[in-house]
Amino acid sequence: MLQPLFIMTKKIAFLFAFYLCLSNLYAQGELNASVRVSTPQLQRNDRRVFDQLEVSLKDFLNNTKWTNDNFEQEERIKCNFILTISKELDGNVFEAELAVQATRPVYGSGYETPLISHLDKDVLFTYEQNQPIEFLRDNPENQNLPALLAFYVYIILAMDYDSFSQYGGEQHLLTAEKIVTNIQNSSSNSTPGWRPADGGKNRNRYWIMENLLNPRVRPFRNAFYTYHRKGLDMFSSNPDQAKAAILLALEDIDKVAAAYFNSMIIQMFSYAKKDELVEMWKIAPKAQKDRVIQIMSKIDPANSQRYREIGS
């Protein structure tokens, strides 16, 4: 009698392990994120606290389930988070900058196009060694670092989804908006970057979210879809048609820039795409080259010299 019981126990254990693995497979997160915590200006000799923070942040980003959708391993969004800590204040409070980058594969090629490449210079957070990193959506108290990362995760998700379907990232933008609103309404969370006046010049997390949900900027999101899905994704099969779609997208982005002067999201688009656009348009009819140079030099005057390389 003992042998059948032993065999049955082994089968139960095997099935339990199988379902556990299966559940972990489907519970995996949407991101394939790399994380680096840099401390070039700190004098602290013991880096173990920052090494642990780096590991915890990577685990937080990659193993959190951010949406209700299932992502295959190869579908996870590649992104980089570089947290550069510049100052340590009292009470384990740190000043830092956060660089956020994310890419998306282009259909029919080995190329990955940048979705976002942004530097947030206004980061303030509290962290103690062995402190768990978790994000509670409806409780912004003492969650400045998890909330900061969650905000950018949902911006990345929104831009990725928008690039594959028209306004596909709407739900993720609303989640990002809720994070901003919860922190604004928090009596204890006064960290910078979440309120309209923080930092000045309409350049912070609030304005990223505001721009992407503003009706004047909605055509930008449609152009973002056209640029990627009807443009880049068609490049391998029909380069001329793809470039025509991308030029149409740039025309629409130019109109948004005129309707919403100095909008942050247009500048973020230009910063992420400038090198890609220059290389893409070096081989094209002169009329198209001239128009791309004209549009991009107008919406991104700081890099006008770079865009002139298209015509050289």
pLDDT values of the chain reduced to their tens digit, one per residue, 312 residues: 445 444 444 444 444 444 444 444 445 689 999 999 999 988 776 788 999 999 999 999 999 999 999 999 999 999 999 999 999 998 889 999 999 999 999 999 999 999 999 999 999 999 988 888 989 877 766 578 999 999 999 999 999 999 999 999 999 999 999 999 999 988 777 789 999 999 877 889 999 999 999 999 999 999 999 999 999 999 999 999 999 999 999 999 999 999 999 999 999 999 999 999 999 999 999 999 999 999 999 999 999 999 999 998
Angle at 171 between CA 170 and CA 172, to 5 degrees: 90
| Sign of CA pseudo-dihedral 225, 171, 211, 194 | negative
Global confidence as pTM = 0.90
Handedness of CA 173, 178, 179, 180 (dihedral sign): positive
Name 128's bridge partners. Answer: none
Torsion angle of C-alpha atoms 261, 266, 271, 276, degrees rounded to 10: -130
For strand 112-126 and strand 31-38, is the pairing parallel, antiparallel, or unpaired?
Answer: unpaired
pLDDT given at position 17 = 42
What does the pLDDT read at residue 189?
Answer: 75
Buried b (16+ CB within 10 A) or exposed e, 163-201: beeeebbeebbebbbbbbebbeebeebebebbeeebbee
Confidence (pLDDT) at 142: 58
